[in-house]
Amino acid sequence: MATRSESSVSGQRPLLAFGFAVPIALLGGLIGLGGAEFRLPVLVGPLHYSAKQAVPLNLAVSLITVIASLLIRANTLSLTPLRNISTIMLALIAGASVAAFFGVALAQRISEQRLEQVILVLLVGIGIALLVEAFVPQQSLGFVPDLLIAQIIAGMLFGLAIGMVSSLLGVAGGELIIPTLIFAFGVEIKIAGTASLLISLPTIIVGLVRYARRGAFAERRLFRETIIPMGIGSVIGALIGGAIVGIVSAQLLKFVLGVILIVSAVRIFHQQRRP
């Protein structure tokens, strides 16, 4: 039988999940991200899930936001510009899917405390990456040689890292995919944004199927309490963020969000969680 405090937390979750998701997705939309890395501290902190519960929940919400983004872009989405990078995309998908498959098993096998430590390191790393990007011009570089075999190997290696992060944090991976496409393969930023969604989708699905088979979504209340309200809030926030993009400097926002992510991650995950 649930205690009164547990029932209270459970009753507040839908409203809290929606309330946090809207501003997170709004700010993420202003810099072209879904905000999944910011949802994870919320799931573990205010919503009181364990890290092992929070990761698959975050991944489920990420699937909703990616599908919504693809539907929103459907009228303007053109696959023609992606033909030139189709090999790179397939290599990234292959590597990310393999890593997501094994990453779920790793996340479930290690202890709760160890997973929290891994999450802390990854979130701080993403926060530092946002700080760096705030001062780095968003221009295509492409340090990977323009050779088919080199692009395939590099794509699979980058994909392995992206898929592992996706399965361990429950994120779509756009915060890693977009910079990889821009700086490693010289892809133009608008094309990289569209490609990121298409690369993320199979990676997320692989991770979700693996988590589902391990019983992560056995409790149907998780959909009612968290996944659906947080997913709806994320879509609404992303729509608002997309509509007002340009009002705030993206570089300044990346710096501020990078600091917020690092601080929130340290506060939530630095100490071992208690029931």
3-state secondary structure of 175: helix
Question: In the predicted model, what is the mean pLDDT of residues 52-64?
Answer: 95
**Domain span including residue 137:** 4-269
Q: What's the total number of domains in the chain?
A: 1
Predicted structure pTM score: 0.89
State residue 275's pLDDT score. 45
Instruction: Tell the burial category of 180 from Cβ atoms under 10 Å away from its Cβ (0-12, 13-18, 19+).
Output: buried
| Structural domain contains residue 126 | yes
Residue 29 has pLDDT above 90, yes or no: no
Q: Which of 13-22, 129-138, 143-152 has the lowest mean pLDDT?
A: 129-138
State residue 118's pLDDT score. 93
Residue 143: CB atoms within 10 A of its CB come to 9
State residue 193's pLDDT score. 84
Confidence of residue 97 (pLDDT cuts 50, 70, 90): very high
Residue 139 has pLDDT above 70, yes or no: no
| Structural domain contains residue 144 | yes
State residue 270's pLDDT score. 73
Q: What is the dihedral of CA 253, 255, 257, 261, to 10 degrees?
A: 170
Q: What is the mean pLDDT of the chain?
A: 88
Q: Is the dihedral of CA 126, 173, 220, 215 positive or negative?
A: negative
CA distances from 234 to 36, 209, 226, 241 (A): 9, 22, 12, 10
| Structural domain contains residue 274 | no
Distance in Å from the first CA to the final CA of the chain:
16
Question: In the predicted model, what is the mean pLDDT of residues 164-177?
Answer: 91
Residue 56 has pLDDT above 70, yes or no: yes
